[in-house]
Amino acid sequence: MTPLRIVLMGVGLIGREHATLVRNHPRTELVAIADVSPDGQAYAKELGIPCYASYEQMLDETKPDGAIVALPNQMHLAAGLACIERGVPMLMEKPVADTVTAALQLAKASEAASVPILIGHHRRHSPDIRAARRAVQDGELGQIVAVNGMWLVNKPDNYFAAEWRRRAGGGPLLINLIHDIDCLRFICGEIDSVQAIASNSIRKFEVEDTAAVVMRFASGAVGTFLISDAVPSPYSWDIASGQALYFPHQPEDCYFIGGRKASLAVPTMNLWRHEEQGGHWQQPLVRKHMPKDRSLTYVNQLEHFAAVIRGEQPPLVTARDGTMTLAAVLAVDLASREARSVRIAEMLG
């Protein structure tokens, strides 16, 4: 099979990871990069491929099979529309766009032109997250009752050298929680409303360093989530799963999913239920280890993108799906600022 010709927009932190993945995969070839920075141009030279300052020109001249968009969030809409106009399927880094309005515009354009967009919510391609969703969908846990999650990490001081990371919008709610919200939606179904308390009491920047979130799922299940970037711990998917890029692996759990029949800890994939069906709290529990494959999240994502380009699979995360995740995260932010319960529907207008 001829390798798919891929172009990459933006070779910053995550763009370079995409470049390595595409170059290392036998079925994909990185043909060009678009980046405006001298660093980006030097990187392209290192790889021996052209670097364009204009992504439109890159698309027109290289006519790729697919594009990966790893540009700043505010540029996702324009870059996405440029791909759609040229009929180029894309892997768009998360969030789908910087606002719900822009995200919906992108979703509508993708649907109208039948040009697929795969949103880069990479965790959905992870073996543990896939297995957790399967366990819920197959009814192994019974009706979902209560969900709990954590993302507790300690960001280094130099992370905050960039001014925008100290300002509202640059913190764990809008930058990091989006991955967990997407996983919880994927595993447990749509979130209906949220409440939240945010705190900046540790770093004392304008932006929050810590937050507690309460969720009501459309199914009737309830959930809580704790997030902080000021706590050294193994309790985050990035560290616990061993699947994330640039994090050490410490096997632990970050999600606990409680159903009427059993509860599941992710990513260790320990499922607990009573020995006897219908058992109760005074009766013995047994642990079953749920199987998960040993595949790699980012490779899985790239292989899925290749299947999307070839028209073999619909995107696992469409722009519309990504919009629901974005809306839920913006709802958490609004709920914390206005100290009230916010329905996701309110964010969708």
Ligand X SMILES: NC(=O)c1ccc[n+]([C@@H]2O[C@H](COP(=O)([O-])OP(=O)(O)OC[C@H]3O[C@@H](n4cnc5c(N)ncnc54)[C@H](O)[C@@H]3O)[C@@H](O)[C@H]2O)c1
**In the structure encoding, which two tokens stand for residue 191, read together?**
């979130």
* Cβ-based nearer residue to ligand X, 124 or 273: 124
Instruction: Return the closest-CA partner of residue 176 out of 216, 144, 203, 149.
Output: 149
| H or E segment to which residue 62 belongs | helix 55-62
Q: Is 229 in the site for ligand X (CB under 6 A)?
A: no
Q: Would you tell me how many other CB atoms lie within 10 Å of the CB of residue 100?
A: 20
β-bridge pairing 66-69 and 4-9:
parallel
The answer to the question of residue 304 lying near ligand X (CB under 6 A) is no
Rule CB under 6 A: say whether 11 interacts with ligand X.
yes
Question: 191-199 and 210-217 as β-strands: parallel, antiparallel, unpaired?
Answer: antiparallel
Closest distance to ligand X from the beta carbon of 256 (Å): 23
* Shortest CB 253 distance to ligand X, Å: 20
Q: Does 33 bind ligand X (CB under 6 A)?
A: no
18 forms part of the interface with ligand X (CB under 6 A): no
Q: Which 3-state string (H, E, C) describes 169-207?
A: CCCHHHHCHHHHHHHHHHHHCCEEEEEEEEECCCCCCCC
Q: Which of 195, 184, 149 shows the shortest CA–CA distance to 343? A: 195
Residue 72 sits in the site that holds ligand X (CB under 6 A): yes
The region of 12-20, 254-262, 281-289, 321-329 touching ligand X under the rule CB under 6 A is 12-20
Length of the chain: 349
Q: Of residues 21, 32, 66, 122, which one binds ligand X by CB under 6 A?
A: 122
Q: Does 71 bind ligand X (CB under 6 A)?
A: yes
The residue sitting closest to ligand X, measured at its beta carbon, is 12
12 binds ligand X (CB under 6 A): yes
Give the residue with the Cβ less far from ligand X, 34 or 196: 34
Q: Report, in Å, the least distance between residue 46 CB and ligand X.
A: 14
333 binds ligand X (CB under 6 A): no
